[in-house]
């Protein structure tokens, strides 16, 4: 059996005295979409930032394509194909749309291929193409999310991590976004997806994990998790859910 593309083994992370992740173990097989769910403060963003190398772990290991990367600096992880679409998109609004896209390709030397890929992004998102030389601040939230996804794709991800990509988007953009996630995955991209939109995330994922206060409390098939009352509990921060009468 081949190694999973990403394996997080007994990972712990603290911010000073705040334990953000405790003994977290997650496997992402090549070609899968794995959803990580959980309430605010559960540790979801910390997980992605630690896999990326932007936050230091205090225990445990991270393996990418079978190799330990725990000690590897962030730029080498990105160069190896670990790419993050960050929370809140983090588009540079004082740069043009095209300049934002080029940031995604900054580690690449194959400029002709990059150019072709940028044109392909413009074909897919005419709203970006029409305004490529305008400042990114002119884009709507949904368009900015598409720009963030386009930028991430230009980094040639082998693992694309997305931190709450649907946050603040209109229902129309949310369904476009999830169509895009499914399409990228059908083309072979492995995706680690953080979402508060539990229903949408479980509908596209092959596997799902629920974090609560930095620990994995549920781990399994999306269809089973969707039925599990503990999923609701995790969103209530571990409080005992009220019985719904009727
Ligand atoms: N830079 C930081 N310094 C100190 N504590 C932090 C820092 N970032 C996160 N934390 C704390 O670590 C815990 C996990 O935060 P994290 O942002 O990973 O959660 P999250 O699941 O992504 O939450 P949200 O759904 O609100 O984005 C929280 O208690 C948070 O307050
Ligand atoms: Mg977060």
Best mutation site among 46, 194, 210 for ligand 1, i.e. most ligand atoms within 8 A of its Cβ?
46
- Helices marked H in 154-193: 171-186
Tokens representing 53 are 């190398």
| 59-64 sheet: strands from edge to edge | 18-28, 6-15, 59-64, 67-68
Give the chain's mean pLDDT. 92
Q: Domains of the chain by range and CATH?
A: 6-90+158-235 (3.40.50.300)
Q: How confident is the model at residue 237 (pLDDT cuts 50, 70, 90)?
A: low
User: Closest residue (by CA) to atom 12 of ligand 1?
Assistant: 20
Average pLDDT of the residues in 32-40: 96
The pLDDT assigned to 93 comes to 87
pLDDT in tens, 73-107: 999 999 999 999 998 878 898 999 999 999 999 98
The pLDDT assigned to 115 comes to 96
Q: Is the pLDDT of residue 244 over 80?
A: no
Q: Is the CB of 46 under 6 A from ligand 1?
A: yes
The pLDDT assigned to 88 comes to 80
User: Closest residue (by CA) to atom 29 of ligand 1?
Assistant: 41
The pLDDT assigned to 241 comes to 38
Sign of the C-alpha dihedral, residues 231, 29, 1, 22?
Answer: negative
Helix/strand/coil percentages in the chain, nearest 5: 40, 25, 35
Q: Is the CB of 41 under 6 A from ligand 1?
A: yes
Residue 119 CA to ligand 2 centre (angstroms): 32
Among 9-18, 83-92, 162-171, name the one with the lowest average pLDDT: 83-92
pLDDT in tens, 187-211: 999 999 999 899 999 999 999 999 9
8 Å CB contact between 28 and 192? yes
The pLDDT assigned to 234 comes to 80
Q: Is the CB of 94 under 6 A from ligand 1?
A: no
Choice between 32 and 108, residue whose per-residue pLDDT is larger: 32
pLDDT in tens, 102-121: 999 998 999 999 999 999 99
Q: How confident is the model at residue 242 (pLDDT cuts 50, 70, 90)?
A: very low
Q: Which one, of 210, 216, 184, 185, lies nearest residue 196 by Cα?
A: 210
The atom of ligand 1 lying closest to the CA of 45 is 22
Q: How confident is the model at residue 231 (pLDDT cuts 50, 70, 90)?
A: confident
- Helices marked H in the chain: 44-52, 74-79, 97-104, 111-124, 126-129, 141-153, 171-186, 198-204, 222-227, 229-235
Choice between 54 and 242, residue whose per-residue pLDDT is larger: 54
Q: Is the pLDDT of residue 122 over 90?
A: yes
Tokens representing 170 are 């209109």
Hey, how many other C-beta atoms are within 10 angstroms of the C-beta on 78? 19
């Amino acid at each position: 059996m081949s190694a999973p593309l990403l394996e997080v083994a007994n990972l712990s992370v603290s911010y000073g005295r705040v334990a953000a992740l405790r003994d977290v173990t997650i496997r992402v097989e090549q070609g899968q979409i794995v959803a990580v769910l959980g309430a605010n403060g559960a540790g979801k963003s910390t997980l992605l930032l630690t896999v990326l190398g932007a936050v230091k772990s205090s225990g445990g290991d991270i393996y990418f394509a079978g190799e330990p990367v725990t000690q590897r600096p962030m730029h080498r992880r990105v160069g190896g194909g670990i790419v993050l679409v960050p929370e809140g998109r983090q588009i540079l609004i004082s740069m043009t749309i095209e300049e934002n896209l080029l940031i995604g390709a900054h580690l690449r030397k194959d400029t002709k291929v990059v150019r072709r890929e940028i044109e392909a992004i413009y074909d897919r998102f005419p709203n970006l193409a029409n305004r490529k030389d305008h400042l990114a601040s002119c884009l709507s939230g949904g368009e900015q999310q598409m720009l963030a996804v386009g930028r991430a794709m230009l980094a040639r991800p082998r693992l694309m991590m997305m931190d709450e990509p649907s946050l603040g988007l209109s229902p129309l953009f949310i369904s476009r976004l999830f169509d895009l996630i499914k399409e990228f995955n059908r083309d072979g991209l492995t995706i680690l997806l953080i979402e508060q939109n539990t229903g949408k995330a479980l509908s596209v994922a092959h596997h799902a994990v629920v974090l609560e206060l930095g620990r994995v409390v549920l781990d399994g098939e999306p269809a089973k998790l969707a039925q599990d009352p503990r999923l609701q509990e995790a969103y209530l921060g571990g409080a005992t859910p009220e019985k719904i009468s009727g």
